[in-house]
Amino acid sequence: MSYIGLMSGTSLDGVDGVLTAFDGKLHAAYLPFPTTLRATLLALQAPAPDEIHTEALAAVELARLYADCVHELLRKVGVSAGDIRAIGAHGQTIRHLPALGYTRQINAPALLAELTGIDVIADFRSRDIAAGGQGAPLVPAFHQAMFGSPDATRVVANIGGIGNISVLHANGDVLGYDTGPGNVLMDGWVARHLGQPYDANGDWAAAGRLLPALLDRLLSEPYLALPAPKSTGRDLFNADWLAERLQDFAAAAPVDIQATLAMFTARTLADAILRDAPDAEAVYVCGGGALNGHLMTQLQALLGKPVHSTDALGISPNHVEASAFAWLAARFCDRQPGNLPAVTGARGPRILGALYPA
């Protein structure tokens, strides 16, 4: 049976969808967020008046966009809804506060099931949190299933809005956690100063110079020193967090700030990898950061070991996370656990997700 995975991540750029039977073949589609939906989702990252109403409307619009992505996949592959066992739809995270016992992903899975005629599995994080876990990251289990090697330790680094790593030991042990910001601070800064959604290939950052004093201040963030399990998001790393740390750098050129933000992302990833996976044969990067040549060069220089995109392991970096939620949907359908307690801190393995039948 084939599954569809849908992912709209912290970068807030759009919906990635994949259709796969986990047989080495994968079909993908991408739909960008309409400008108004992206603005609404960004605004929902922080408390605001009438946010329950705003969230509900955004969830409906998001589900319709998810459905459009599903129909595009079915059209491209030439199959019908009846050929798909289930859709794994993570939803759009607007709050992630596991220390307070909750996480919030905007979604309207009942509507998605209605619009597609396919069973929908959603709400993947909440069961892990109920079991005392972080509810994230959930992708290390998928990384181990797809990318693990019995011959060597590998690291998979996902650089989306937030950065996270999966350390895949040759003996099957897995460690994973959010390392800190991925693209979120860089994207916000380039949008503010150049009006662009992201720094293509990291070219703007590459034109700037590093500000060591600012880098030291960024690296002093207490989250970075916390032990795993841990997870984070825009609740911490956002424009207000950055503005507080820029108070003494009003005279700095914006391009130099961007250069320093790029190094900050590279350092948080590299420091984590060198600490927890010094024996890794190589690092494989997925997410939008894999397309940032400047960031990839920085990461390789800091690590002193090969850094590749996950293309080298058979899955495009843009399709890994959506594939992970197709895989988690399959785990749910087979009533198999989807979490790794060693990663999330949950009390034990749990079946993740909730079913919305077609």
Spatial separation of the C-alpha atoms in residues 215 and 58, rounded to whole Å: 36
Q: Which two tokens stand for residue 52?
A: 């329950």
**pLDDT value at residue 11:** 85
Spatial separation of the C-alpha atoms in residues 115 and 64, rounded to whole Å: 8
**pLDDT value at residue 9:** 85
CA distances from 127 to 96, 107, 135, 264, 270 (A): 14, 16, 8, 33, 31
* CATH number corresponding to 2-135+318-356: 3.30.420.40
The residues of the chain that CATH labels 3.30.420.40 are 2-135+318-356, 139-313
**pLDDT value at residue 10:** 86
Q: Which residues of the chain have pLDDT under 70?
A: none
CA angle 37, 38, 43 (to 5 degrees): 95
DSSP, res 22: S
Is residue 223 classed exposed, middle or buried when 0-12, 13-18 and 19+ CB atoms within 10 A define those classes? middle
Report long-range pairs for 308-316 (Cβ below 8 Å, ≥24 apart). Answer: 308/282, 308/283, 308/284, 309/284, 309/285, 310/147, 310/156, 310/284, 310/285, 310/286, 312/284, 313/146, 313/147, 313/284, 314/24, 314/146, 315/26, 315/146, 315/286, 316/28
**pLDDT value at residue 237:** 97
**pLDDT value at residue 196:** 95
Say whether 263 sits in a helix, a strand or coil: helix
* CATH number corresponding to 139-313: 3.30.420.40
